[in-house]
Chain A
Amino acid sequence: MLACFPFLMAASESPSTPAISPPASAAPPDDAQWTMPAKNYASTRYSELAEINEGNVKNLQVAFTFSTGVNKGQEAAPLVVGSTMYIVTPFPNIVYALDLSKHGAPIKWKYEPNPEPAAQGVACCDVVNRGAAFADGRIFFNTLDGHTIALDANSGQPIWNTHIGNINVGETLTMAPLVVKGKVLVGNSGGEMGVRGWVKALDAGDGHVVWTAYNTGPDKEVLIGPDFKPHYDMDKGKDLGVTTWPPEAWKIGGGNMWGWISYDPDLNLIFHGTGNPGPWNPDLRPGDNKWTSGIFARDPDTGAAKWFYQWTPHDLHDYDGINEQILLDMNWQGKPRKVLVRPERNGYLYVLDRTTGEVLSAKPYGPVNSSKGVDLKTGRLMANPDKKTGTGKVVRDICPTASGLKDWQPSAFSPKTGLLYIPHNNLCMDEEGVEVNYIAGTPYVGMNVRMIPGPGGNRGAFTAWDIAAEKQAWSLKENFPVWSGAVVTAGDIVFYGTMEGWFKAVSAKTGELLWQFRTSSGIIGQPVTYRGPDGHQYVAILSGVGGWAGAIVSGDLDPRDATAALGFVNAMKDLKNVTTAGGTLYVFRLP
């Protein structure tokens, strides 16, 4: 017994023994490419490359740059397959292939889908695109006006083009597809337009729709059948997607899927969130509003739902539930568990058992007053009655905001440190419910919002979260919301960008700033890292401010209106003084 003791001490002190790691089937050994925005099906955004490390990262320099020619919010992750890099721009959604084997990475091909310009008017929060996906020699991507397109990765020739979204009801596509078992998974945007949310699986070969799963409505259309076994009583019952709404309201009730999907090949399950219910004004939709602001586990072959959990029943504050889910295996209170980690918009860092949907942990990772915690027995979020919104009522100082403690901007997980690196916001808001009419193709919101900086005054933060200990390891304050994604490497470096335009490298262990580079515009994109044809490690990021947070710049909005851009402008009045619109790829390497 005694002899064991020093060994135990040593083990608990050593950060290099990975107690938490993604399942190998969802995160295979690194091939040094970057074929999907989340890096792998487990969505770790972790690279095993270590040429760039804590000691030499200070020497990073620009290898090449490339202008996308589009000065709107650049939220996409560049992809790298073999010696080609692929990037997709915001509307008009041009795809470029750059030849990394040649000096200066010249254009190999370019594909212009020419989307319908009117689509720009129904995109809620800038005309962004979150990237493409590569599989089986093809590039798959979505256009704002509702098309999913497959291109030959070598030639840029279109192979198929399927029209799945209708801009005349306010439907757009902004997410990056995920390709699973020969199916291209895509969901729609439009939660601010009363669009009914869905996820579709398109055949990767010819583009035909294999299945469609709605996120509101009768069980049959939600693909809820005999296999559906939700963990909590609140999610059990027949046709809850109809009965938890006023009559017919589910038809215009949102629940869109514009964020991230993960896939566990061992369980044969995909996991995807669902967006906010519409309209934002909750008086128009009493009830739990299933299946909005929650998460589904589905069979990728048929779309059949296996379980569901609702982060935010009867959402009051636009808390979409579509953030990334990181799939990990770990010991939880002594027992090995297959978990799913989700930094959620409502402010809680959830750890779920991904086989059942049971909540193991839900701790706030920043300031939250809109709720008082999650009841782990019932699974239910305990909404704070003081922050309940409604028609004709101004409710002040609600934290987090409609944009959440964290919005779409994806976090990264390192098995070396056991930490999750979370780019996020620190904002609060005032809300006033107002009457609203449903007019197809126009916004269906019914809420005046004005956002303000959160406690401390820093509007953003970059937080490292110790998943096992259920607490923050360290956190960096940022003046503006951190609207970029993150990537972490085996060199123990985390990369992220700021809305001023700084691209930063910090220590994965301590958060110490090791290097930064000022790009030409604010950064809201997703950094990636890869090994180039010359055998060296590169880091790439798209710079170009915009998105909901940066719409004040990319859309040239007027800061004198506190409610502009659904209230975000009020918190971003000074952004126009520090950055201008842009659209440039930056790629870095060691000298």
Chain B
Amino acid sequence: MRLGFATLLSVTLALAACQREERDTRPQSSLGSGGQPTPVTALEPGGQRPSPRDNKAASFEANAFHLSEGKRLFGWFNCSGCHANGGGGMGPALMDQKWIYGSSMESIHATIRDGRPNGMPSFRNMIPDDQIWELAAFVRSLSGNAPSSAAPQRNDGMMPHPSENRMPDAATLGKSP
């Protein structure tokens, strides 16, 4: 019995270890100068073609470490000063289902890197590229677009809104399934 339990325990631990996500603790230090073009419209004369996905998008999007880093950086780079904790202020709300320039990882990455004309600054020369991807992943979690197993949990201090891992998907909010 005792042995069985221990075995079970070790197997469980081993399994958990297998599932553990990879942590990229040494992000690339290059600034946000990746140059992939990202369309800001759904209109393409001649018919819409799928735009190529960036390799990094997928690896950052569902990664708990990157998401929590994104949350920290959101305060560090004063994104929160303009967008509050997602509800907006000087800049638009980021937790709702409305996107001016697109909701994909690539679009948000481009928004942060290049800025947008009506007051979103370009962080091209300030934030390393990998950290921009972390920010993009966190921004998506604000509208419920991150796996709840990976998105940030409760704050230690004031809770401005339910924690990111409990945010409903803004796109389906208020609509019956």
A residues whose Cβ falls under 8 Å from a Cβ of B: 117-125, 192, 392, 394, 430, 432, 434-437, 439, 441-445, 448, 450, 551, 555-566, 569
Contact yes or no, B81 A561, CB < 8 A? no
Contact yes or no, A120 B84, CB < 8 A? no
With A117-B119, A561-B86, A566-B84 as known contacts, state yes or no: A556 contacts B77, CB within 8 Å: no
B34 located at the interface, meaning its Cβ lies under 8 Å from any Cβ of chain A in the complex: no
Task: Show 13 residue pairs from A and B whose CB-CB distance is below 8 angstroms, ordered by the A residue.
Answer: A117-B117, A192-B81, A436-B81, A437-B78, A442-B121, A443-B81, A555-B88, A555-B92, A558-B86, A558-B93, A563-B85, A565-B84, A569-B84
Near A by CB (< 8 A), chain B positions 96-145 give 96, 98, 115, 117-121, 126
Whole-angstrom distance between the Cβ of A346 and the nearest chain B Cβ: 23
With A443-B78, A561-B95 as known contacts, state yes or no: A432 contacts B117, CB within 8 Å: no
Give the docked Cα–Cα distance between A557 and B86 (Å): 9
With A439-B77, A444-B81 as known contacts, state yes or no: A566 contacts B89, CB within 8 Å: yes
Question: CB-nearest residue of chain A relative to B156?
Answer: A392
Give the docked Cα–Cα distance between A437 and B162 (Å): 25
Give the docked Cα–Cα distance between A569 and B76 (Å): 23
Contact yes or no, A569 B87, CB < 8 A? yes
Contact yes or no, B89 A121, CB < 8 A? no
Contacts of B77 in A (CB 8 A): 437, 439, 442
With A117-B117, A448-B157 as known contacts, state yes or no: A442 contacts B82, CB within 8 Å: yes
Contacts of A562 in B (CB 8 A): 87, 158-161
Contact yes or no, B76 A437, CB < 8 A? yes
Whole-angstrom distance between the Cβ of B167 and the nearest chain A Cβ: 9
With A434-B157, A448-B160 as known contacts, state yes or no: A120 contacts B118, CB within 8 Å: yes
With A558-B95, A561-B86 as known contacts, state yes or no: A394 contacts B158, CB within 8 Å: yes
Give the docked Cα–Cα distance between A125 and B162 (Å): 25
Number of interface residues of B (CB under 8 A): 32
Give the docked Cα–Cα distance between A192 and B82 (Å): 10
Contact yes or no, A122 B119, CB < 8 A? yes
Contact yes or no, B88 A561, CB < 8 A? yes
Give the docked Cα–Cα distance between A434 and B160 (Å): 13
Contact yes or no, A121 B93, CB < 8 A? no
Give the docked Cα–Cα distance between A450 and B157 (Å): 13
B13 located at the interface, meaning its Cβ lies under 8 Å from any Cβ of chain A in the complex: no
Whole-angstrom distance between the Cβ of B55 and the nearest chain A Cβ: 29
Whole-angstrom distance between the Cβ of A354 and the nearest chain B Cβ: 36
Give the docked Cα–Cα distance between A200 and B89 (Å): 29
CB 8 Å contact bits of B30-55 with A (1 = contact, 0 = none): 00000000000000000000000000
Contacts of A443 in B (CB 8 A): 78, 81-82, 90
Give the docked Cα–Cα distance between A442 and B112 (Å): 13
Whole-angstrom distance between the Cβ of A182 and the nearest chain B Cβ: 35
CB 8 Å contact bits of B16-35 with A (1 = contact, 0 = none): 00000000000000000000
Contacts of B92 in A (CB 8 A): 555-557
Contacts of A120 in B (CB 8 A): 118-119
Contacts of A119 in B (CB 8 A): 119
**A-B CB pair tally, cutoff 8 Å:** 124
Contacts of B86 in A (CB 8 A): 558, 561, 564
Question: CB-nearest residue of chain A relative to B170?
Answer: A558
Whole-angstrom distance between the Cβ of B125 and the nearest chain A Cβ: 11
Contact pick for A432, options B89, B95, B158, CB 8 Å: B158
Contacts of A122 in B (CB 8 A): 90, 119
Whole-angstrom distance between the Cβ of B174 and the nearest chain A Cβ: 11
Contact pick for A560, options B82, B95, B121, CB 8 Å: B95
Contact yes or no, A441 B96, CB < 8 A? no
Nearest 4 A/B pairs, CB to CB: A121-B119, A561-B87, A443-B81, A564-B87
With A117-B118, A118-B119 as known contacts, state yes or no: A551 contacts B161, CB within 8 Å: no
Contact yes or no, B89 A564, CB < 8 A? yes
Contact yes or no, B118 A557, CB < 8 A? no
Question: CB-nearest residue of chain B relative to A445?
Answer: B81
Give the docked Cα–Cα distance between A559 and B117 (Å): 25
Contacts of B158 in A (CB 8 A): 394, 430, 432, 448, 450, 562-563
Contacts of B81 in A (CB 8 A): 192, 436, 442-445
Give the docked Cα–Cα distance between A444 and B81 (Å): 7
With A439-B126, A443-B81 as known contacts, state yes or no: A121 contacts B120, CB within 8 Å: yes
Give the docked Cα–Cα distance between A118 and B114 (Å): 13
Contact yes or no, A557 B93, CB < 8 A? yes
Tell which of A124, A436, A448 has the most Cβ of chain B within 10 Å: A448
Contacts of B147 in A (CB 8 A): none
Whole-angstrom distance between the Cβ of A26 and the nearest chain B Cβ: 37
Contact yes or no, B90 A558, CB < 8 A? no
Tell which of B75, B89, B92, B121 has the most Cβ of chain A within 10 Å: B89
Whole-angstrom distance between the Cβ of A239 and the nearest chain B Cβ: 30
Whole-angstrom distance between the Cβ of B144 and the nearest chain A Cβ: 11
Whole-angstrom distance between the Cβ of A449 and the nearest chain B Cβ: 9
Whole-angstrom distance between the Cβ of A115 and the nearest chain B Cβ: 11
Contacts of A563 in B (CB 8 A): 84-85, 87, 158, 160
Contact yes or no, A558 B120, CB < 8 A? no
Question: CB-nearest residue of chain A relative to B94?
Answer: A558
Contacts of B89 in A (CB 8 A): 124, 551, 555, 557, 564-566
Contacts of B78 in A (CB 8 A): 436-437, 439, 442-444
5 more contacts with CB within 8 A, not counting A557-B92, A561-B88, A565-B87, are: A450-B158, A551-B89, A560-B162, A563-B158, A564-B160
Give the docked Cα–Cα distance between A439 and B126 (Å): 10
Contact pick for B75, options A435, A441, A564, A569, CB 8 Å: A435
Contact yes or no, A564 B93, CB < 8 A? yes
Contact yes or no, A561 B90, CB < 8 A? no
Contact yes or no, A118 B93, CB < 8 A? no
Give the docked Cα–Cα distance between A121 and B118 (Å): 6
With A439-B77, A445-B81, A556-B98 as known contacts, state yes or no: A121 contacts B160, CB within 8 Å: no
With A121-B119, A121-B121 as known contacts, state yes or no: A557 contacts B157, CB within 8 Å: no
Contact yes or no, B85 A561, CB < 8 A? yes
Give the docked Cα–Cα distance between A394 and B86 (Å): 20
Whole-angstrom distance between the Cβ of B164 and the nearest chain A Cβ: 12
Give the docked Cα–Cα distance between A445 and B115 (Å): 21
Contact yes or no, B84 A124, CB < 8 A? no
Give the docked Cα–Cα distance between A562 and B126 (Å): 29
With A441-B121, A444-B81 as known contacts, state yes or no: A561 contacts B161, CB within 8 Å: yes
Give the docked Cα–Cα distance between A563 and B90 (Å): 12
Question: CB-nearest residue of chain A relative to B89?
Answer: A565
Question: CB-nearest residue of chain A relative to B143?
Answer: A558
Give the docked Cα–Cα distance between A439 and B122 (Å): 13
Contacts of B120 in A (CB 8 A): 121
Contact yes or no, B118 A561, CB < 8 A? no
